[in-house]
Amino acid sequence: MSVDFGTYHHSTKEDSEMLRGIAKELFFQAFMKTGLPRDKEISVLDVGCGLGFLSYVVTQYFPKAKILGIDTFENSSLLDSDMRKAEENMEHLGIRDRVFFKRLNVLDITEELGHFDIVVSNLVFHNLGRRRFEAYEKITKVMKPSSFFINGDIFFGSEPEKSFEADISRLSKIFKLIFSKRLELKESLTYYIAVLTRA
């Protein structure tokens, strides 16, 4: 079996691979912005982990990190999402002892999940519409003091920057923005990554 991180619902397999390449580079930049040493033993929560792509990226940058990926494994935003496939990907990559998965909706997060040094997510929150703000609040419940939330997501429409700024404005009540980067993907499709810490 070869590693397969799936195809996003708004793209082709080739576009999905391209987007993952971009995301990996941007998440590496974001990890640098946290100032955390690469060899630090940290705990990371991957929200909407899908087939484990971002969990894998975390292990590449932080070789001593332990990652918990949560997902419903039922959302149509990633075709063929399946927890068993995610586990097989980690096995194939040789990181099954550092990456674990749990079937859980981000809106059902409680403190019983634990507390994390970093919470990461990629291409998830735009699927929640206005409920994403409720999800952001849930995430704060499992963040350690001085921990980081790193979110990569897409914004559609003719003025995606205003949408992103509106989100950051709302988030400033619970987070402090450390770093953000914008990347135009296609007409009316923009990718943003943001590093936030608890305010």
Q: What residue spans define the domains of the chain?
A: 13-198
State how far the Cα of 69 lies from the Cα of 57, in Å rounded to an integer: 12
Report in angstroms the alpha-carbon separations of 36 from 26, 83, 117. 16, 29, 10
pLDDT greater than 80 at residue 153: yes
Listed residue (15, 117, 29, 110) closest to 70, CA to CA: 110
Residue in the structure block whose two tokens are 């450390």 = 178
**Domain 13-198, architecture per CATH:** 3-Layer(aba) Sandwich (3.40)
Listed residue (46, 87, 42, 30) closest to 66, CA to CA: 42
pLDDT greater than 70 at residue 69: yes
State how far the Cα of 148 lies from the Cα of 124, in Å rounded to an integer: 17
Looking at every residue in the chain, the average pLDDT score rounds to 91
pLDDT at 1: 62
Q: How confident is the model at residue 141 (pLDDT cuts 50, 70, 90)?
A: very high
